[in-house]
Structure formats: C-alpha cells, structure tokens
Amino acid sequence: MESIPQFLEEKLITEYGKDTYLKILEGYKTKRNTSIRVNSIKTSIDEIKNVLDKESITYKEVSFYKDALTLDGEQEEKIRGLNIYEDGLIYMQSLSSMIPPLVMDLGDNQDILDMTAAPGGKTTEIASIVQNNANITACEMDKIRCDRLRFNIEKQGARVLVMEKDSRNIDEFFKFDRILLDAPCSGSGTLDLNNEKQIKGFRKELVEKSIKRQLGLIRKAVKILKKGGELVYSTCSILKEENEEVVKEVLKDSSLELVNIEINKKDLPILESLEKTLTLYPTENYEGFFVAKLRKK
Ligand code: SAM
C-alpha cells in the first residue's frame, strides 16, 4: 500500500484536524462497494429488484435515493453480465455522484445544461429524473470522452443534445434554468492507497491546475444562468480550495446566493464545510465529494 502524499496530509490536517484526517485516511484504504442507479426511463426499482432476487444477487437500499442500490463489490462482475446492464436499465454510479442531479430541483420543460458531462452518469440521471421531459444539453471538450458520453446517452435512452466543445466558450446568448458543473478536479476524495499510479500522479500542480479550470468554468456558468436559475457545483475533491473557496469567489457577485442542499442526510459521512454546502469523506459506500447550490436572484 502507498502512503498519502505529504502535502495532502498536511492540508487535510490543517483543514479538518487530526481526528477527522484519520477517518479520511481510513477511507483512502477502504475498497468501496458497488452501487447502481435504476434508469427510470426504461424500468422501475421493483423490476430491477425482481431481477436481482432471481439471480440471487444481494443488495441494500439507499436512504437518500429510492432508485439506488448498493452491492458487495464482488457481485459487480455478475451484474455486468446481466441484460439489465447491457440494455441500459441500470447505470453503475458511485453514491456520492448521484447527489448533484437529485438536488437540482429539476422540472418539466426546463433548459438544463451539464457543462462537463462525460462519461454521462449525471446527464443520464437528470434525463431519468425528468423522464426526458426537459431540454437537456451536455457539453464535453474531450473527444474520446465525448464518444463515451454519446454511447451512454444512447444506451440509457436519454434525450440529450450533446456539444463537443469547451464549455467556457458557450455562446452567452444561450441561458439556462438549471446548470450542473461537475467540475474537473484533483480527485482528492477518491484516492485509493492501493493504486500506485493514482497516488504517484497526485501532485500540488494537479490541485493548482484544477482550481484554475474550476474558476474559469464557474464564472462562465454564472453568466449563462437565467435570473432565478440555479447552479449546482460539485467535485470529487475534499480540499476546500477546490470547493468552498471556488464558491466563495463567485459569491462576491451579489446577484448570487447559496441555497440549502435538500437531501436525506441520515447516513451520509459528512465533513464540516461552509454553511449550506455538503462535503462527504470517503467510506466503504461513499467517495469523498462536495456539492453546493447557488441561485441567481
Ligand atoms: N459529470 C460526469 C459524470 O457524472 O459522468 C463526470 C465529469 S468529470 C468530473 C469532468 C469532465 O469535464 C471530464 O470529462 C473532462 O474532460 C471535462 N471537461 C474539463 N474541462 C472542460 C471544459 N472546459 N469544457 C467541457 N468539458 C470539460
């Protein structure tokens, strides 16, 4: 097993204190369970439970989302061999990553933008929540990842307009009711100390580069958000400089306000963070993750 990069250890202790740091470290060592999201465009949770029961696959329900289930990681191979996976009736997605679309207050006929969309877990979740009854645009600048996004959208039967471009260049003529910015980040919430390559690649420069991109993207998001519209900003980092510091930067614009994250928090592994935002630390069921919601007054 690798050891945690020293600069990260120091940052986490400074930001959260020694006791909480030790909990985070435990999460970095723990293998995560598999989780699946039911694609309600094509099926229902009851149908999926029936299939899993017939296949003798055991699962647990998730307190914050009726369409999600967790499974022991050893059953993942079996799931991948089933028709429900092949035909896009379910999507393998981390539990933390299901939270942003759930808190977007989505509704029919809204103009919705997913600014950084590949491979499409959250785009297809949005489509599933609104049952394809909204105008969803998904933007992705990386060509190979954009192909993957198109593939997943098609497989899930989602109705989405895909734009292969840098979303910082979206024409400001277009305005949206809801924007999801699931920003590129250092991934400090998803580190796995058993993954040598990932740990060796985790450097200060990665954090600095991520912050620059996050700031560029969130500033653009604010410009193309309609008045009264809402922006959900998320990352799979637990570093405050990629999360609440980025949010605080755009909050200097007095037309914006933070809005509470409305979700059942009963079982969530919550870290202390800026009021109204949500930060999770890594555990066997959750990746470390951050979510904030902003409204344009
Ligand atoms: N939301 C995705 C999901 O749930 O499947 C994961 C998104 S991942 C955290 C960030 C994505 O943003 C990457 O695919 C990356 O290529 C893309 N990206 C980074 N900068 C971008 C930009 N300026 N414009 C569009 N896409 C960008």
What pLDDT, in 10s, does the model give residues 162-187?
999 999 999 999 999 999 999 999 99
253 pLDDT more than 90: no
30 pLDDT more than 90: yes
Q: For residues 218 and 188, state if they share a domain.
A: yes
Token pair in block for residue 237: 């980092």
d(CA 195, CA 187): 13
d(CA 52, CA 75): 11
Q: Is 234 domain-assigned?
A: yes
Q: For residues 163 and 16, state if they share a domain.
A: yes
Instruction: Choose the residue to mutate in 126, 140, 144, 206 for probing ligand 1, maximizing ligand atoms within 8 Å of C-beta.
Output: 140
114 CA: nearest ligand 1 atom = 1
What is the pLDDT, as a whole number, of residue 9? 97
Q: For residues 102 and 205, state if they share a domain.
A: yes
Span of 64-68, 75-79, 97-101, 209-213 with lowest mean pLDDT? 75-79
What is the pLDDT, as a whole number, of residue 133? 98
Q: Residue 260's domain is classified under what CATH number?
A: 3.40.50.150
Give the confidence band of 210 by pLDDT, cuts at 50, 70, 90: very high
73 pLDDT more than 90: no
Q: For residues 174 and 54, state if they share a domain.
A: no
Contacts of 240 (CB under 8 A, 6+ apart): 15, 273
Q: Which residue has the higher pLDDT, 253 or 79?
A: 79
| Domain boundaries, position 253 | 6-30+96-296
* Residue nearest atom 17 in ligand 1 by C-alpha distance: 116
What is the mean predicted confidence (pLDDT) over 240-261? 96
Q: For residues 70 and 155, state if they share a domain.
A: no
Q: What share of the chain is helix, strand, coil (3-state, %, to 5)?
A: 40, 20, 40
Q: Is 1 domain-assigned?
A: no
**Upstream peptide bond of 119 is cis (omega within 30 degrees of 0):** yes
Q: Residue 68's domain is classified under what CATH number?
A: 3.30.70.1170
What is the pLDDT, as a whole number, of residue 88? 98
Instruction: Choose the residue to mutate in 112, 114, 116, 145 for probing ligand 1, maximizing ligand atoms within 8 Å of C-beta.
Output: 116
Using alpha carbons only, how large is the chain's radius of gyration in Å? 19
H or E element that contains 127: helix 121-129
Domain end point (choices 75, 92, 109) = 92
* Ligand 1 neighbours (beta carbon < 6 A): 97, 116-122, 139-142, 145, 166-168, 182, 184, 213, 217
Q: For residues 114 and 228, state if they share a domain.
A: yes
Average pLDDT, the chain: 97
Q: How far is the CA of 132 from the centre of ligand 1 (A)?
A: 22
- Torsion angle of the four alpha carbons 103, 106, 112, 114, in this order, in degrees rounded to the nearest 10: 30
Domain end point (choices 72, 92, 112) = 92
Q: For residues 47 and 22, state if they share a domain.
A: no
* Residue nearest atom 19 in ligand 1 by C-alpha distance: 184
Q: Which residue has the higher pLDDT, 19 or 75?
A: 19
What is the mean predicted confidence (pLDDT) over 107-119? 98
Burial 252-267 (b: 16+ CB within 10 A, else e): eeeebebbebebeeee
What is the pLDDT, as a whole number, of residue 74? 86
Rounded alpha-carbon distances, angstroms, from residue 247 to 1, 163, 164, 266: 34, 25, 26, 25
Reported pTM:
0.98
Number of domains in the chain: 2
* Residue nearest atom 23 in ligand 1 by C-alpha distance: 166
Count CB atoms within 10 A of the CB of residue 285: 20
Q: Is 124 domain-assigned?
A: yes
Task: Tell me the catalytic residues.
Answer: 236
Give the confidence band of 262 by pLDDT, cuts at 50, 70, 90: very high
- Per-residue DSSP letter, 84: H
- Torsion angle of the four alpha carbons 121, 125, 128, 134, in this order, in degrees rounded to the nearest 10: -110
What is the mean predicted confidence (pLDDT) over 89-97? 98
254 pLDDT more than 90: no
Burial 56-91 (b: 16+ CB within 10 A, else e): ebebeebebbebbbbbeeebbeebeebebbeebbbb
234, β-bridge pairs: 182, 291
